Amino acid sequence: MSEQVIRRQQEMNRSKLRTLVQVGMLGAAAGVLMNFEFPIPVLAPPFYQMDFSEIPVLVGAFAMGPVAGMLIELIKILLHFVLHGSTTAGVGEFANFVMGCAFLIPAGMIYRYHHRKTRTHALVGMAAGTISMTVVACFVNVFVMLPLYGKAFGMPVEAFVEMGTAVQGVVHNLFTFAVFIIAPFNLFKGIVISVIVTLIYKRIRVVLRGD
């Protein structure tokens, strides 16, 4: 084996190790941020909580690709579950992972795999991710999360609709709940996360894998 091949193999091993370390660090940071959640009463009932845990996830997806972003998302969920358990019988954690992936995968793919990585591509990716997350959130909540959550805690789905009506008077069934509660909440979340990532990504990219 030539010295050049050995050197290339060593560089690849160092790159893999660095990626694993960065994925772990960003996953831990996301897990910590997941603890600082808060409701937005003007948009949704209090059981919908806003947090900033997708910031490290999206940064990782931009720096290392969507697969790394998915691993960071998974570490975030597992870390939070191990340290704090679940108040939603695992339903909330599952939904959080699915919607997080719906956000990061389009954003990461559009930015990371484009030949020229510019702010415009990042913005386009995050816009696509925000729309994707919003659409997925509507379907996941209506067909999976709310029915499972209601079954786990003995609450009829109508109870969630009533909570939505208290926030937005036009809500009177699951469809209008999705349109006037779930969609605006996730659009707001995606926009806020995107703005923050836009402001900080270039500054912290130097400590991650450069392009």
In tens, the pLDDT along 100-146 reads 999 999 999 998 887 677 888 899 999 999 999 999 999 999 998 88
At 39, give phi and psi (nearest 5°).
-80, 165
Whether the predicted model's global pTM rises above the 0.85 cut: yes
Confidence bin at 54 (pLDDT 50/70/90): very high
The pair of structure tokens assigned to 190 is 């995606």
Confidence bin at 2 (pLDDT 50/70/90): low
Instruction: List domains and CATH numbers for the chain.
Output: 3-207 (1.10.1760.20)
CB 125 within 8 A of CB 110: yes
Confidence bin at 211 (pLDDT 50/70/90): very low
> In this structure, is the dihedral angle defined by the CA atoms of residues 197, 110, 25 and 93, taken in order, positive or negative?
positive
At 26, give phi and psi (nearest 5°).
-70, -35
- CA proximity to 149, closest of 52, 140, 83: 140
> In this structure, is the dihedral angle defined by the CA atoms of residues 45, 50, 54 and 81, taken in order, positive or negative?
negative
